[in-house]
Chains A and B, each alone.
Chain A
Amino acid sequence: MGLIARAIEAIGIPTVALSIARDLTAAVGVPRAVFLRWPMGHPLGEPHRPAQQRTVIFLALRLLLEADGPGILLEPGLRWRRETYQEPDWGLLAQIPGSRSP
């Protein structure tokens, strides 16, 4: 997946990836990634848990907007099945400077 992210970024399209294998993602050199120490097959969390899944998307989109250089591997430290999730405040993304500049 990291190699595909690199190919897409190399053609000029920004990417953000999720990672469940930290060392591999770091070694491949992925432009932007959010690492989740979760079971394989669950990068966005548990089935039918929309708040959890959308929290992951929120973190990834925030990284997309805020990253100022390559190879950032964000580690939010979310624990597996031991967190409480709420619907993210999506309006916060519009306040990040990168999301407004034309």
Chain B
Amino acid sequence: MAPALQFDDLLPPPGDAVTALKFAPSSSSKLLVSSWDTNVYLYDIAQTEINQSPLITKFKHQAPVLDVCFGDDDNVAYTASVDRCVNRIDLETGQITVLSKHGAIASAVVYSAAHAKGILVSAAWDSTLHIHNIRDLGSSPIRVALPGKPHALAVSPSKVVVAMTGRIINIYDLNAMRDLFSTGGTDLKPWQQRESSLRYLTRAVACMPNDAGYATSSIEGRVAVEWFEDTAESQARKYAFKCHRQPAPDGDGDIVYPVNALVFNPVHGTFASGGGDSSIALWDAEAKRRLRQYLKLPNNVAAMDFSNDGKYFAIATCPGFETGQEDYSGVGLTNVQFRILGDNEAKGKSSK
């Protein structure tokens, strides 16, 4: 029997359901958690080892915060919030500045510091992307119209993947974005436009740390893995599989849960999926194997992340939203937890 794979709590938990959870780029123990309670929480797991509260501070916004990401270093963060704003937070002073305002709720932000570019991409439900040049904050962002409402956004070392309504997936090239900054152009064409490999609404996207491809998940208990390279061989490698399902209690078919979160391990290149069935599984994308399944969690998995050195694995759990639900609240039912990964816990299987 494998040892019990349990998670420890980070206390106090956020005041309401969690929307995103991200580890810092330098320190492996610092993480940001954004919540529906309008706050962004900064935790440091290392504080638990010296019996201090891991909650360093929180940053109050005007409206619920739907996404958060770190900037160049551990002192800068960017958020997307329900008040349509894309914000920059100075984590040292707590100062929040609005970078741009979308025409609808801003739902996601990603930041890329690769090749000293400093590009912040935000997505909003008015089907637009805003591309911010962080090296020149005075300039107004480039606005890019999308063919559909964005539901998930992820960044790899060279690409940005946007998953939208209508099963459209646009892949943008970061170099093309940087070129726009220097030329002053505003017309950004996707590097590739693809149809989602999944039949239902995309829930999450995550890019492989080696820049080779990405994984998507849908509301219908399924995960797809595909590669960027646009050759017949690479495209033939793509696959999808079912997961996060449970046999119905009456024995008739399965109950299918959404796969809310995907994240790749930066060290081993394996990835984790977290679903509405309150479980997390680790997968080896190359070997097409499940590595392990963690013990059942108290609630739906809303967000997850690995620390930059692959040491920590943090997760956020809160109630899930079901079809037809009239009201929703994650108050008192939200948890942020972490575990220290074993040396080989997230390591892929050697192909036999």
A and B: interacting chains: no
Query: Which residues of chain B have a CB within 8 Å of any CB of chain A?
Result: none
Query: Which residues of chain A have a CB within 8 Å of any CB of chain B?
Result: none
